[in-house]
Structure 1
Amino acid sequence: MKNIILILLFLCSTAVFAQKSIDKLLKKYNDNSIPYISPQELTLPETNVFLLDSRELKEYETSHLKNAIHVGYDHFKMDSIHKKIPNKNSKIIVYCSVGIRSESIGDSLKKAGYKNVKNLHGGIFEWKSNNLPVYNKEEKETDSIHTFNKTWSKWLKKGIKVYE
Structure 2
Amino acid sequence: MKKKIFYILLFFSGISFAQESLAEVLKKHNKESIPYITVENASKQQNAVILDAREFSEYKTSHLQNALFVGYDNFNLKKTIKKLKSKQQPVIVYCSIGVRSEDIAEKLKKAGYTNIYNLYGGIFEWKNSDFPVYNPEGKETDSIHTFDKAWSKWLKKGIKIYD
TM-score grouping bracket, smaller chain normalisation: 0.7 to 0.9
Aligned to 1:29: 29
Mapped to 2, the partners of 1:74 and 1:146 lie a distance apart of 16
Aligned to 1:13: none
Structure 1, 34-43 or 78-87: larger mean CA deviation: 78-87
Aligned to 2:42: 42
Residue-pair matches, total: 144
Structure 1, 147-156 or 90-99: larger mean CA deviation: 147-156
Return the letter of the residue paired with 1:101. Answer: R
Aligned to 2:81: 82
User: Are 2:67 and 1:68 aligned?
Assistant: yes
> What TM-score do the two structures reach when normalised by structure 1?
0.85
Matches within 5 A, 1:146-161: 146-161=145-160
Q: Post-superposition, which runs of at least 4 consecutive aligned residues in structure 1 deviate over 4 A?
A: none
Aligned to 2:91: 92
The Cα offsets for residues 34-74 of structure 1, whole Å up to 9 and x where unpaired, read as 00000011122x33210000000010000100000000000
Mapped to 1, the partners of 2:124 and 2:46 lie a distance apart of 24
The Cα offsets for residues 62-90 of structure 1, whole Å up to 9 and x where unpaired, read as 01000000000000000111211141111
Which secondary structure state, in structure 2, belongs to the residue aligned with residue 51 of structure 1?
Answer: strand
Return the letter of the residue paired with 1:149. Answer: D
Mapped to 1, the partners of 2:84 and 2:43 lie a distance apart of 21
Aligned to 2:136: 137
User: Are 2:58 and 1:59 aligned?
Assistant: yes
Mapped to 2, the partners of 1:142 and 1:86 lie a distance apart of 30
> What TM-score do the two structures reach when normalised by structure 2?
0.86
The Cα offsets for residues 113-151 of structure 1, whole Å up to 9 and x where unpaired, read as 000000000000000000110001111000000001111
Mapped to 2, the partners of 1:56 and 1:92 lie a distance apart of 19
Mapped to 1, the partners of 2:85 and 2:110 lie a distance apart of 15
Which secondary structure state, in structure 2, belongs to the residue aligned with residue 82 of structure 1?
Answer: helix
Return the letter of the residue paired with 1:118. Answer: Y
Matches within 5 A, 1:5-20: none
Unaligned runs of 5+ in 2: 1-19
Q: Work out the percentage of aligned pairs sharing the same amino acid.
A: 58
Return the letter of the residue paired with 1:140. Answer: K
Compute the displacement of 1:105 (Å): 0.3
Unaligned runs of 5+ in 1: 1-19
